A and B are shown apart, each in its own frame.
Chain A
Amino acid sequence: MELSAEYLREKLQRDLEAEHMEVEDTTPNRCASSFRVLVVSAKFEGKPLLQRHRLVNSCLAEELLHIHAFEQKTLTPEQWTREQQK
């Protein structure tokens, strides 16, 4: 399995029906072992932060075994809209 920002983006987008995604490879030398993701999905509505993060974690359970560091931000479409207006 080839880990890449593009790969993670596609998988998250598909499984979580994300309407907006940002995936950044935060490894200093871009060796794809650290990532930062932003996922905007209606699936997060009504769910506390912990549950949202668990959704992302279980979507990427296999990949996370090979990822050293993983940062995530999970927003509902409404929160995302507000965030952009700031």
Chain B
Amino acid sequence: MSGSLGRAAAALLRWGRGAGGGLRGPGVRAASSGGSGSSEHLDALVKKDRVVVFLKGTPEQPQCGFSNAVVQILRLHGVRDYAAYNVLDDPQLRQGIKDYSNWPTIPQVYLNGEFVGGCDILLQMHQNGDLVEELKKLGIRSALLDEKKDQDSK
């Protein structure tokens, strides 16, 4: 546990360094067809799995505090089976997914092929209970429900 927290903290520290790197000029804009940034490709990608996230870094090693928060929230709910794509590996993907969802930032979360929001929105859905409900619609039982039951029965 302390290991993963340590990693999270390290990810937070590393995060400042990339400042400005994500917003290069039009050179990285995705081509309109084909390639990892095309809307056809992305459409297929977000619909392939029930839970899809686009991160800076990987779930094991998030490279940004906000991406890390998304990973931790999913972990809290016991969601293990999700597709994660690292936008730092692919500039076309990085710009393409922003165009696809018309959302300016990474991370991005998709449930059942539908754009849900970024870190702030996922965090608020976690806090107000909506995330448990949304996961239920996908046939995923949040681990937080079981935890709560344990507490109730004690």
A residues touching B (Cβ–Cβ < 8 Å)? 27-28, 33-34, 49-50, 53-54, 57, 61, 64-66, 68-73
Contact = CB atoms under 8 A, between A and B. Distances in A.
Contact of A50 (B16, B20, B116): B116
A37 to B, nearest CB: 10
A54 B118 CA distance: 11
25 contacts: A33-B20, A34-B19, A49-B117, A49-B124, A49-B125, A50-B115, A50-B116, A53-B117, A53-B120, A53-B121, A54-B103, A57-B103, A57-B104, A61-B104, A64-B104, A65-B104, A68-B20, A68-B22, A68-B23, A69-B66, A69-B105, A70-B104, A71-B66, A73-B120, A73-B124
Contact of A66 (B23, B102, B124, B125): B23
Given A68-B18, A71-B66, 7 more contacts: A33-B20, A53-B117, A53-B120, A57-B103, A68-B20, A71-B119, A72-B120
Interface string B15-50: 110111011000000000000000000000000000
Nearest to A65: B23
Contacts, number: 44
